[in-house]
Amino acid sequence: MSVHAQRCQSHYFSATPLKTQVYEWYSRFRGGEMSCEDQPRSGRPSTCRNDENLEKVHNANNGDRHWTTDEISEITGFSWSSCQQMLMEDLNMKYVSTKFVPRLLTGDQKSIHFNAFYDLREQVGNQNLSKVVTTDETWCYGYNPGGGQTLSQWKTPKSPKPKMAWQFQSNVKIMLISFFDTNGIVHKGFVCPGQTVNQQFYLEVLKRLRDSVRKKRPEMWRRSDCFLHHDNAPAHTALSVQQFLAKNNMIIPHPPYSPELALFPVPSYEMPNERETFC
């Protein structure tokens, strides 16, 4: 390093211009140019993010929303970083995972869905959900290993850790059919092992449900405004079941593939020693 360069660096520290920069300025000064600023350059602009190119990227994205940034860059001819910036910053888009739904509804099914929801609102009212008794089935397992303090034991530092064999839940299980409203469980019962839930069986369950409504919901029974809401299981949509519900004015339409219209969650229930069974 020359003496002049050392003096310059000791005086300006990190602001000292580079050697190549000094040579460039020296050549400019010799040619009569006294400016140290960069001169404007002709040719390709510094960015391709203009309205015309945004339209190309937007049209390519509309062709197939599953295309990645690499594929859009290959189609449009722009760089990957430019496509990424135009998609995320200019077009305000995000590359997200597809959401899984039970089924993509057709136009007719959407129309049925809307009509059923409108009829439900007209029958039940906006806030009076106490008229609705909904039902669902669930498997109950005869297995309760306990947890927390129930499995804790006192031990010394030298004694081995206590062990317990893990039992599979599928060893003992039974189906529970529960009917409930905003005030709690109206009727419940367990299906006997080996029993098939068909329309004849479900009709007998509904008859028991009417008896339970008469005993546990006397005001609802006197008003005769008890509505049953269930899904579209084969036993629920059978002709004999639909005729029974229509005769007793208990039916509420439920559109196909519409689990979001379920009014209440399934309540938690523990299997008692003595239980009613639908046999």
Q: How confident is the model at residue 148 (pLDDT cuts 50, 70, 90)?
A: low
**Nearest C-alpha neighbor of 140 from the set 184, 193, 197:** 193
Beta-strand pair 184-191/173-181: antiparallel
Mean pLDDT of 82-104: 82
* Residue 271, pLDDT above cutoff 70: no
Across the beta sheet with 227-229, the strand order is: 227-229, 132-141, 173-181, 184-191, 277-278
The confidence band for 132, taking pLDDT boundaries of 50, 70 and 90, is: confident
12-16, 56-60, 107-111: least confident range: 12-16
pLDDT score for 201: 92
Report CA 270 to chain centroid distance, whole Å.
28
pLDDT of residue 233: 85
Average pLDDT, the chain: 77
Q: Could you give the angle at the alpha carbon of 41 between the alpha carbons of 39 and 42, nearest 5°? A: 150
Which is it for strands 132-141 and 227-229: parallel, antiparallel or unpaired?
parallel
**What is the arithmetic mean of pLDDT over 166-191?**
80
266 pLDDT band, cuts 50/70/90, is very low
Alpha helices, DSSP H, located in the chain: 3-12, 19-30, 51-63, 69-76, 80-85, 107-124, 199-216, 218-223, 239-247
The whole-number average pLDDT for the span 188-205 is 89
Question: Which pLDDT score is estimated for 268?
Answer: 44
pTM of the model as a whole:
0.52
- Would you state the torsion angle of the CA atoms of residues 109, 111, 117, 122, taken in this order, to the nearest 10 degrees? -140
- At residue 274, the pLDDT reads 46
pLDDT at 184 over 80: yes
CA distances from 220 to 89, 180, 181, 183 (A): 58, 13, 11, 12
- Of residues 24 and 269, more confidence is placed in 24
Task: Return the pLDDT at 202.
Answer: 92
Cα dihedral across residues 212, 213, 219, 221: positive or negative: negative
Q: What is the pLDDT of residues 46-82, one digit of tens each?
A: 567 788 888 888 888 888 888 888 888 888 888 888 8
